[in-house]
Amino acid sequence: MAATRTAPPVVIGVDSSTQSTKAVVVDAATGAVRAVGRAAHTVTGEGGARESDPEQWWSALGEAVASALAAADVPAHTVTGIAVAGQQHGLVVLDAAGRPLRPAVLWNDTRSAPQAAELTAALGGPEGWLARTGSVPVASMTATTWQWLRAHEPAVTAATAAVRLPHDYLTERLSGAAATDPGDASGTCWYDTAAHAYDQEILDLLGLDPALLPAVAASGATRVGTLTPDAAHALGLPSGVAVAAGTGDNMAAAVGLGLGGAGLLDHPVVSLGTSGTVFAATRTRPAAGFAGLAGFAAADGTYLPLGCTLNCSLAVDRFAGLLGLDREDTAPGDGLVVLPYLDGERTPDLPHATGLVTGLRHTTTPRAILGAAYEGASFTVLRALDDLFSACGLDPSDAAVRDRPLRLIGGGAQGAAWRDTIRRLSGRPLVVPAATELVALGAAALAASAVTGEDPVALATAWGTGHGETLPPVARDEETWNRIASVLDRATPSLLT
């Protein structure tokens, strides 16, 4: 009689981002991706407004998980854990029944710029915030958005029974547990990264009752419960599936890369997506910071200093569309400077900025304009990386720091134009991981950890999800770098208005 074959256990990692939800079904032992499911989101708003319906995220999660499970062709009973990594900073306000009172305000909504300035001043300037939260309020951080909502929709804030981040909202829909993690909580500007707790004085400043907030789990890998019967039914899974606390998208990407803060910024990461992000893991809390940079916590309770720009691949693609070009049909900027700040900018802190093009001549080609847009976006991201090193006490011009390879991730990392521009403006070697769903894979490692109790960073390291192609350095294009820096520095006063 033939032996019955037992299917190996799998876990599900969910990446709920600005534009879509992706779910990966992962072999819990090897990290092999069995399948990926996707479902799109809708973002609404004009000018500085950017909003989404949280119910849409829940529907998209179910659709993505169902698609991934069908493609993986695994029995539902082999799923042992699930975790959600979500877009950071979004504000979700719920009524007493747990229903959204209004659309969520997203991380790239810049309407709260006045509130950011008022909050910064209320603690005596940037230093007061850096000492407590590791970050200075900028438009789009959750604290500034809450203040904007208090000013513009007081009836909504008065009716609010719960305040959640996007990933918190989905974790609660899965498990019934009101829980967050240190990583995503550190992006609110009301979490003290030194004390590892909500800052009561800041909550008082915001008029925010701590009872409205989720409990902070020890880490994103902490098991906060199991699927509720309703969630299990919606996903077609057993109700005993473990639910991890989850984390923010950047923190999950760090887990997926196997970054656990073993050294001081040894493995800097550049992520090219709708936003451009730079981060690195460290066990030492940054002692200083720059406005626009964030001293976040990591999902494992260490630290993940990070810089985020609002305008990256989406802005460059917009230039390609305006010029009627394919996104890869580019040439070097040829003396042009394009600052593609189409949504304002967060790093540098220019919430009211618009795009700028300068240096046009009769001989200018559309391909050169598009190339200059790549250069402007890449410069902004890479200068944020230099600021990140400086904020942590390292000299970005020092050879030992300058030669550290960059790990290039995100959708843009798959594009030749992005790779070439980042190499040329950084002068650094690049490591491009073979895995393309690092946020979801990081969430899968958190899910596996919630099941087994193993360290999620060690799990991801054993899975090898951070391995990939290494591209050698090329000579740094100092001329282009200095040209863009000069234009940005001269234009900043006008971009502030």
Residue 115, both tokens: 């509130």
249 tagged catalytic: yes
- The span from the CA of 439 to the CA of 249, in Å, is 6
Among the listed residues 181, 199, 249, 343, the single catalytic one is: 249
Respond yes or no on whether the N-terminal peptide bond of residue 348 is cis (omega within 30° of 0). Answer: yes
Task: Tell me the catalytic residues.
Answer: 249
